[in-house]
Structure 1
Amino acid sequence: MKILIASGIYPPDIGGPAQYARNLYETWKAEGHEVKVAAYRWERAAPPFIKHLLFMTKVMRKGWDADMILVLDNFLAAVPAMFACALMRKPYIIRTGGDLLWEWYVERTGELILFKDFYSKKRDFSLKEKIIDSLSRKAFKRADAVIFSSDWQKKIWEKEYGLDPKKAFIVENFCGERLEPLQAGAGPENRSFVAGTRPLKWKNVELLKDAFADARTMAARRGLEDIELDCGKAVYDSFVEKIRRSYAVILASLGDISPNMIFDAIRAGTPFILTKETGIADRVRECAVFVDPQDKKDIAEKVAWMADPKNRAAQAEKVRRFAWVHTWGQIGDEIISVWERMHKRPKGRIG
C-alpha cells in the first residue's frame, strides 16, 4: 500500500505528533508499505496563508498516487490536506491530537478553563480562533474517518462537531515494552519530580509550582528529604532516560487527551501523579495517583504523600504490575483496519 503521512511536525522537531509520525513511518516501511511523509519544514518561515498553501502543494506532490492519506493534526496540516485531497479527489483520515482551539483560547485569554468545559457555552473567539474553528470543522466533516486516542475526547467532539459516530474510531496511544530497569533493588537516583512541559497556560505550570512549594514544606515537617520539581525539556530519548532515573513524574494540566509522558513513565517503571482531567483515566486507574488540577491543596498533598519513600515504592510496584502494552505495530494495523473498513478493501497488511 502507498501511504502518505501528513503532519505538522516531524523529527528533529520535538512533540507527540512528530514521534507518532516517525514511528508509524518506520513501522509501515518495515512491513513493506511504500510510505512518504509531508511535514512543515522551511514553509514555517512564510506568512500564515502562504505557508498553508505551500504545505497543500507538498501534500499534492507527495500524495498524488497514495492509497491512504493519514493526517496527524487538527488544523495546521488538516486544513491544507483537506484542500489538497479535494483537488486530487482523494479521501483522507484524521488522527486527532489535542484541541488547538481550546489551547489557543486559554493562552490568549488566560482563562484557565478545563478542556471538558470548554464547549459548554459560547466563547468570545478572536478572528484567528473563528477561522481555526470554522476550517477545522470542515476538515473533520469531510474526512472519511476520524481517529481518536480516547473515548473521552471522542464523546466531547462527536457532540460539539456533529461527527458521524460511524466515522469515529478509537486507536489508543503507544505504550511499549518496559524499559530495562535500574540496578536490581536500587531506588531512584534523585528526589526529582519530572514535569517537563511547554510553558503554556493550559499546562497549569504556575499552579503546579506553587503547590510544589507547599508540598516541600509539608515534606520537611514530616522529616522527609527535600524534593525538587524539574520542568526542563529535552529531546525524546534523553527525556525518557530522565524519567527512568527520576523519583516520580507529575502532570497537572487542565486537560490532557492521552499524554505520552505518562505512558513513558509506565514503560520506565516510574510512579506518577496525573491530572484527573485526562482521557486515559480508566486505562491507568490501577497505577495512577490523580489530582484535581484546579485544587492547589490537593496537588500539594499528593506530592507530599509521594515524597515518602514507602508510598513511592508502593506506587512503583503498581506501575510495575501494570501489564497493558500497545505497540506501534498494533497501532499501524488498527489505523489500516479503519481505512479498509471505510473503503471496504480486502484485509491485508501489504498491498
Structure 2
Amino acid sequence: MKIVLVTGIYPPEIGGPATYVRFLAQEFTKSGHVVEVVTYAHKLNIENEKWNIHVIPFGLPILRWFAYARKLKQVANDADIVYAFSSVSCGIPLILAKLKMPKKVLRLGGDFFWERYTDRGGRKSLREWYEQRSWELSVGSWILNHVDHIVFSTRFQEEIYEKAYNQLPGHSVIENALTLSGSIQHHRKPHTPFRLLFMGRFVKFKNVESLIAAMVHIHDATLTIVGEGPLDDRLRSLTENLHLTGRIRFVGPVNGKDKEDIFAKHDLLVLPSLTEISPNTALEAKAAGLPVLLTHQHGLGDLSSGMIDSTLYNISDIVDGIAKARTMYVANYSTLASRPWSQVASETVNLFATLLRL
C-alpha cells in the first residue's frame, strides 16, 4: 500500500500532528508499506528517515496551498491513501490537487476554525463555539465533504461534529497512542517549592497567560513553561511585568530523553486550555508518572483516568485547581494500560483496507 501522510508540521516542530505523522510513518514502513510525507517547513534537516519527506516553504496562504497541491499531484497521484492531518492547511491543498485514485482520509485532533476564533480573543470552549452556529461551519462542511472518511481522535469531538454538521462523510474514532516510559516514578515526593509544568504551543486557547497570572497568588511554587509559538514574546513580557522572572522560566521544545527528564523533575503538569481535544502531552506525562491537572473541557475519556480535571477558565479557577491537585497528590500510574503506536498503526491500516474495498 502506498500511503502519503499530509501534515502542516513535522519534527523537530512540536505538536500532535508532528508526533503522530512520524510514528505512523515508522510503523507503516516497518509493515512494508511505501510512505511519503508532505509538510510545510521553513527548513527541514532530517537524516536517516526511511521515507521521503517533501517540504513546502511557508508563505502567503493561497500561494502555499497551490504549491502544496502541485506537490501532492507529483507525490500522491498513484497513492492508495492520502492521510491528511489538518482540515485547512492540508485539506484545501488536497481539494485543489483533484486527486482521483487515492482514498482521501482526514484526521482531526484539533479544530482550525475554533482555534482561529480563540486567536482573535474568543473565550468559548469548543462545544460552546459550535453551539453558536458560526458562518465558518459552511466552510468546514465544504472541506469535510471533499474527503472519503474522517478519523477523530476522540468520541468527544466526533459527537460535537455530528450535532454541528447535517451531513458528514463516513467517520470513526482512532485514539492516540499511550506509550509507557521505562522510568516511571511510582511514588513521587513533591519538591519544595512545588514545581509546576506547562508544555505545549504558545497560542491563545492554551490559556497560558491566565496560568502565569495565577502564579502571583501561588507563592510556594515555581513554573516551567516548555514550548514555543506566536505568543512567546507576550508571555515573557507578562512574566516580567508581574515580577515573576525568579519563579517562572521558559524552555524551548523538548523531545525524547529531554522530555522524560523534564517530567521527572516536576510535580504537576497543568493544562488550563479552553478545550483540549486529545492532548498528547497529558498522556505522555501520565505515562511518565507525572500527575496531571487538566481542563474539564477535554476528550480523553477513559484515558484521563488518574488525572485531575477541573474548571480552569480564569485565574481564580487555576489557583483553586492547583490547590485541589496538591491536596490530592497521587502519582501511582503502575496499572496504566499501554496503547502502543503499533496498535494505532494497525487500526489505521485496517481502516484503509476497508476503504479501498468500497
Matched AA of 2:334: R
Within the alignment, does 1:2 sit opposite 2:2 as a pair?
A: yes
Equivalent position to 2:316, from 297, 302, 315: 297
Alpha-carbon distance change, 291 to 163 in structure 1, aligned in 2, over 3 angstroms:
same
- Match in the other structure for 1:91: 103
Aligned pairs for 1:132-143 (under 5 A) are 134-143=138-147
**Cα 1:83–1:90 shift into 2, 3 Å:** farther
CA distance in 1, matches of 2:27, 2:343: 10
Shift of 1:213: 3.0
Tell me the CA shift for residue 330 of structure 1.
0.9
Structure with greater strand percent = 2
Is residue 259 of structure 2 the alignment partner of residue 239 of structure 1?
yes
> Which SS does the other structure have where 1:142 is aligned?
coil
Number of positions where the alignment pairs a residue of Structure 1 with one of Structure 2: 318
**Contact 1:157 1:163 (C-alpha < 8 Å) held by counterparts:** no
Say whether residues 1:287 and 2:306 are aligned partners. yes
Match of 1:104 in 2: 116
Name the counterpart of 1:222: none
Q: Contact 2:308 / 2:325 at 8 angstroms: preserved in 1?
A: no
Task: Say if 1:121 and 1:70 are closer, same or farther in 2 by CA, change over 3 A.
Answer: same
Confirm or deny: 8 A CA contact 2:86 2:107 kept in the other structure: yes
Q: Are 1:230 and 2:230 counterparts?
A: no
Instruction: Name the aligned partner's letter for residue 258 of structure 1.
Output: S
Residues 344/45 of structure 1: CA separation in 2 closer, same or farther (3 Å cut): closer
Deviation (angstroms), 1:172: 0.3
- Per the TM alignment, residue 210 of structure 1 is displaced from its structure 2 partner at its CA by 2.8
Cα displacement string for residues 265-318 of structure 1 (whole angstroms, at most 9, x for unaligned residues): 11111111010000014431x30111102254343123124345xx42xx202x
How far residue 79 of structure 1 moved from its aligned partner, in angstroms, is 1.2
Residue 36 (str. 1) matches residue 47 (str. 2): no
**CA deviation after TM superposition for structure 1 residue 115, in Å:** 1.1
Question: Which moved further from structure 2: 298-307 or 51-60?
Answer: 298-307
Q: What is the aligned partner in structure 1 of residue 246 from structure 2? A: none
Cα separation, 2, equivalents of 1:69 and 1:34: 12
Counterpart in 2 of 1:66?
Answer: 79
- Give yes or no for contact 2:124–2:274 (8 Å, CA) kept in 1: yes
TM-score, normalization by structure 2: 0.82
Residues 205-245 of structure 1: per-residue CA shift (max 9 Å, x gap): 1222233432x24xxxxxxxx21121232232223431232
- Output the CA distance in 1 between the equivalents of 2:262 and 2:300: 23
Q: Which sits farther off after the overlay, 23-32 or 186-195?
A: 186-195
Aligned-residue offset at 1:61: 1.1
Residue 39 of structure 2 is aligned to residue 49 of structure 1: no
CA distance in 1 between counterparts of 2:77 and 2:161 reads 30
Q: In structure 2, list runs of 5 or more residues that go unmatched.
A: 43-55, 228-252
Aligned residues: CA RMSD: 2.2
Local SS of the residue matching 2:334: helix
Q: 2:125 aligns with which of 114, 125, 131?
A: 114
> Secondary structure at the residue paired with 1:137?
helix
Q: State the distance in 2 between where 1:188 and 1:26 align.
A: 37
For residue 13 of structure 2, what is the aligned residue in structure 1? 13
Tell me, what secondary structure is at the counterpart of 1:195?
strand
Contact residue 68 and residue 92 of structure 1 kept, 8 A: yes
Contact 1:249–1:265, Cα closer than 8 Å, also in 2: yes
Offset of residue 253 of structure 1: 0.5
1:316 counterpart residue number: 331
CA shift for structure 1 position 343: 2.9
Report whether the alignment pairs 1:306 with 2:325. yes
Task: Report deviation, 1:135.
Answer: 4.6
Q: Deviations over 1:326-351 (max 9, x none)?
A: 11111111112222223327xxxxxx
Any gaps of 5 or more consecutive residues in structure 1?
A: 218-225, 346-351
Higher helix share: 1
Are residues 186 and 209 of structure 1, via their aligned partners in 2, closer, same or farther at CA, if it must alter by over 3 Å?
A: closer
Instruction: Kindly indicate whether the alpha-carbon contact (under 8 Å) linking 1:179 and 1:267 is maintained by their aligned counterparts in 2.
Output: no
Equivalent position of 1:148 in the other structure = 152
Q: Is the 8 A contact 2:180 2:287 kept in 1?
A: yes
Per the TM alignment, residue 74 of structure 1 is displaced from its structure 2 partner at its CA by 1.5
- The percentage of aligned residue pairs carrying the same residue is 27
Contact 1:75 1:135 in 2 (8 A): no
Is contact 1:212-1:303 (8 Å) kept?
Answer: no
Q: Is the 8 A contact 2:226 2:254 kept in 1?
A: no
Alpha-carbon distance in structure 2 between the residues aligned to 1:186 and 1:266 = 13
Inter-partner Cα distance in structure 1 for 2:11 and 2:201: 17
After the TM superposition, which residues 170-319 of structure 1 pair with which residues of structure 2 at under 5 Å, given as runs?
A: 170-181=173-184, 187=189, 191-214=194-217, 216-217=218-219, 226-233=220-227, 234-237=253-256, 238-284=258-304, 286-307=305-326, 311-312=328-329, 315-317=330-332, 319=333
Q: CA deviation at 1:63?
A: 0.9
Change (3 A) 1:57 1:12: same
> In 1, Cα distance between the equivalents of 2:74 and 2:96?
13
Distance 1:142 1:247, change over 3 A: same
Report the AA paired with residue 150 of structure 1.
T
Mapped to 1, the partners of 2:223 and 2:296 lie a distance apart of: 20
Cα drift, residue 188 of structure 1: 5.6
